[in-house]
Amino acid sequence: MSSNLSAIIRVVLVIGGTHYLSAQTPSAVKEVQGLPARATPADYQTAAKAGNFTIAAEFTGHGIPNAQEALNSEDHVGVEVAFFGPADGRLTITASDFSLRINGKKEPLPSQPWALVAKNIKDPEWVPPESSSEQKSKGGISGSGGGGRQPGDPPAPPPKVPIELLRNWQQRLKKAALAEGDRALPQAGLLFFQYRGKTENIRSLELIYSGPAGKASLTLQ
């Protein structure tokens, strides 16, 4: 085979391989979900054994850590949980395997899907822009017929979050939630439980796990 023909074949193979890889990229790359697992279970607030696995956890309160600035939920509290196991270990993970007992109540709270939490998710640092009615009430429009708020008017509705900003918060929440299914370990992410009370009123917290790894109880507070 001549050297020119060999060179042409190599070029065709390289171009063909590149085209194949680029065509495979959209379907082959999966969205990463969950939080980065810390180095060891000892890096969390508490940990417990479940069979051959270790579950570690930390209570986050109404704050929701994620890849960017922390978010907030008035209706739910979060628990950051992580699974550790033997080298090359795998485990089927399901958020519904967890429940949270608050203040020793008989019935623990079941975990909630992230989509329910997303309905009222907030960024505590977000400051809404002034509405036109607020500008009027500050004297932006003068005269007896001004559009400012008057004594006895009903409370103003809460400001609406721009839809694109809300979607950004919800995507951040989704990515921080515990990934479910058959997963390589270690694996970490957030669990959510419906609780509207103040965290300072919580005297005791117990995270309960019952799943494929076995059973475990973790005292969080």
Interior CA angle at 139 toward 138 and 143, to 5°? 145
Q: Which residues contact 216 (CB under 8 A, 6 or more apart)?
A: 48, 49, 50, 55, 208, 209
User: What is d(CA 73, CA 71) in angstroms, rounded to the nearest whole number?
Assistant: 7
Please check whether residue 173 is in contact with residue 64, taking contact to mean a CB–CB distance below 8 angstroms: yes
Give the least confident one: 76-85, 144-153, 196-205.
144-153
Query: Is 56 part of any domain?
Result: yes
Domain range for residue 90? 31-125+160-219
Specify the pLDDT at position 154: 76
Query: Is 8 part of any domain?
Result: no
Query: Is 52 part of any domain?
Result: yes
| CB hemisphere CA count around 20 (13 angstroms) | 6
Average pLDDT value for residue range 136-148: 50
Specify the pLDDT at position 149: 60
Highest mean pLDDT among 6-20, 150-164, 192-206: 192-206
pLDDT tens-digit map of 186-198 = 999 999 999 999 9
pLDDT tens-digit map of 107-138 = 999 999 999 999 999 999 898 887 544 544 55
Identify residue 137 by its one-letter amino acid code.
Answer: S
Query: Is 96 part of any domain?
Result: yes
Q: Which has more confidence, 197 or 2?
A: 197
Bridge partners of residue 47, in order along the sequence: 56
Q: Which has more confidence, 138 or 27?
A: 138
Average pLDDT of the chain, as a whole number = 83
Interior CA angle at 137 toward 131 and 139, to 5°? 110
Whichever domain contains 79, its CATH number is: 2.60.40
Nearest residue to 51 via CA among 19, 91, 24, 81: 91
Specify the pLDDT at position 106: 95
Query: Is 94 part of any domain?
Result: yes
User: What is d(CA 134, CA 219) in angstroms, rounded to the nearest whole number?
Assistant: 48
Query: Is 18 part of any domain?
Result: no
Query: Is 146 part of any domain?
Result: no
Q: Count of domains in the chain?
A: 1
User: What is d(CA 153, CA 147) in angstroms, rounded to the nearest whole number?
Assistant: 12
User: What is d(CA 154, CA 157) in angstroms, rounded to the nearest whole number?
Assistant: 9
pLDDT tens-digit map of 28-84 = 345 678 999 999 999 999 999 999 999 999 999 999 998 888 899 999 999 999 999
pLDDT at 218 over 50: yes
Q: Which has more confidence, 19 or 69?
A: 69
Query: Is 10 part of any domain?
Result: no
